Structure formats: C-alpha cells, structure tokens
Structure 1
Amino acid sequence: MTNNNDERNNGLIKGVANEANDFVHNILDTSGKIVKSVSGEGGLVGKTVDSSGRIVKKISDTGNNVIGQTVDSSSKVFKNVTDKAFKKNK
C-alpha cells in the first residue's frame, strides 16, 4: 500500500500554508513601505508600522509552523494505523 496520495495532500497543505505565510509577509512589507513613504521613514507612524508588522509576521510564522507540525504528526499517526490495520500476517 502506498501513501503517495497522502504525501501529496500533506505537501499541498504545507505548500498552501507556506504560500499564505509568504503572502502575509509580502503584504506587510508592501503596505509598510507605502505608509512610510507617505508618513515619513523615521516618524512615529513608521515605527508603529514596523512594530506591528513584526508582530503579525511572528504570528503568521507560528501558525505556519503549527500547521507543518500538525500535518507531520497526523501523517505519522495515519501511517502507523494503516500499517497495523493492513499488515499481512506471515
């Protein structure tokens, strides 16, 4: 029994999570540049944008890591269960 379909689904889930994480980072970087170009680089608004951007990026990274670990753990559990359930007795 092969788990190619399961591996593809796990790869898909992790891939989508990584893309979403990258998307969040890019949006924050772009919006931060726009806000700072309007308000000024060193002002209070610019510093606030930088700080809030770092917070949101860390939250996004944490969520991405949790998704990756959950996929890995559930994949291992599924593999163990299917190996035991479909193990041929010799």
Structure 2
Amino acid sequence: MTNNNNERNDGLIKGISKEANEFVHHTVDTSGKIVKSISGEGGLVGKTVDSSGKIVKKISDTGNNVIGNTVDTSSKVFKNVSEKAFKKKK
C-alpha cells in the first residue's frame, strides 16, 4: 500500500482512491489464484478469470484516474478563485 510521504503529497481523497485501487487489484489477483488453483490454470475457467480480472482492474484504474484528475482540477480552480477573491489591492 502507499506510504505516508505519498499520502501527504497526494492529499486525502487521492490517497484513499489509490488505496482502494490497490485493494481491488489485490482482491482480483487473490481470488483469481484461488479459482485457478481449484479449476486449473489453462482451462476455460482460468482464462475467463484472467479476462474478467483484467476488466475489473481496468475499471478500477479508470476510476482512480478520474478521481485524481478531478481532485487536481478542483484544487487548481479553488486556488485561482481564492487568489482572485482574497487578493489584497495595493
């Protein structure tokens, strides 16, 4: 999982999003290993597990990227609005 330095740099929302994304990846990998250990690596079930795992991971990555971009954009907008609203006139 992420360390404290990365969490501080990324902020709370992005840090939680990264943690959730890593959790999803880990869960998909673990469940895939369990299913394939029961059904076999090369069979149809194993291949289906691999394919569906890749889809779930891609969706999770996309969600993580969307959250990261939204946080970045919101932060920039807030900073610009704050600077304009509270700028001291000389």
When normalised by structure 1's length, the TM-score is 0.89
Count of matched residue positions in the alignment of Structure 1 and Structure 2:
82
Deviations 1:4-51 (A, max 9, x none): xxxx6x611000000000000000000000000000000000000000
Q: What is the rounded CA distance, in whole Å, between the counterparts of 1:31 and 1:19 in structure 2?
A: 18
Paired letter, 1:86? F
The CA distance in 2 between the partners of 1:28 and 1:42, in whole Å, is 18
Gaps of 5+ in 2: 1-7
Gaps of 5+ in 1: 1-7
Q: Which consecutive segments of 4 or more residues in structure 1 shift more than 6 A? A: none
- Identical aligned pairs, as a percentage? 82
| Higher relative contact order structure (alpha carbons within 8 Å, sequence separation ≥ 6) | 1
Alignment of 1:2-41 (within 5 A): 11-41=11-41
